Amino acid sequence: MVAYFQLQPAEAELQELAEEYWKKAGEKVQELEKAAFEAGEGIRKGDFTLANLEAIVRWKSERSVQYLIANSNEKIRRVLAAVTVPGATTESAVKSLLELQGVDLPVASAILAAIYPERYTVLDYRALEALGHARHDVHFYEEYLAFCKRLAESNIVQPQSELPGAAPLRTIDRALWEWSRSHTS
């Protein structure tokens, strides 16, 4: 079965929605996101530590951190090495991350987005709502990711170069999230 995504906001609204997201996020959320993308850069450079992974998980799901810390340092190193190996597929990276306690599909997508913001985006219920959908499994994430990449590659948004994770995919994610938040209030 192929997932179907229908963009709810107008394409012309996406950049403005992404800017609005950051303005409304609040200092704590902004700091968590900055720390997550700094940690992602560290992981990308081979620093496969619990501290880096925890910074990303804290950004996506504070409540998951208590489970994450139960993983051994060796398991974390092994999983992050598998995620960052050149040529790793989305499916293999997600499946590796799902081996960790405290990591579900949305958290795995956030970890990938923080490590490789130009290749991955976050699977989040608000962003999915902005696309008229809410089914979650690895293949769904791959379809969601492909849809978001097509949006990003169409140049309807620009990277928010002054913000963490400066990539069109992260701009799309912020825009979709903001659209959902502004339409459920």
State pLDDT tens for residues 92-145: 999 999 999 999 999 999 999 999 999 999 998 889 889 887 667 888 899 999
Residue 140: the pLDDT is: 86
Q: How confident is the model at residue 3 (pLDDT cuts 50, 70, 90)?
A: confident
Q: Mean per-residue pLDDT for 13-17?
A: 96
Q: Spell out the residues 6+ positions from residue 75 whose beta carbon is closer than 8 angstroms to its own.
A: 99, 100
What's the mean pLDDT in 49-54? 98
Name the residue ranges covered by the structural domains of the chain: 11-184
Give the residue among 114, 87, 82, 85 at the shortest CA–CA distance from 98: 82
Q: Which two tokens stand for residue 171?
A: 């701009």
Find out whether 99 and 71 touch, Cβ atoms under 8 Å.
Answer: no
| Region 1-27 average pLDDT | 91
Q: Give me the pLDDT at residue 134, please.
A: 65
Whole-prediction pTM: 0.82
Whose CA is closest to 18, among 149, 157, 117, 184? 157
At 183, is the pLDDT very low, low, confident or very high (cuts 50, 70, 90)?
confident
Mean pLDDT of 68-78: 97
Name the more confident of 128 and 84: 84
Q: What is the mean pLDDT of residues 53-77?
A: 96
Q: Which two tokens stand for residue 69?
A: 């810390």
What's residue 86's pLDDT? 95
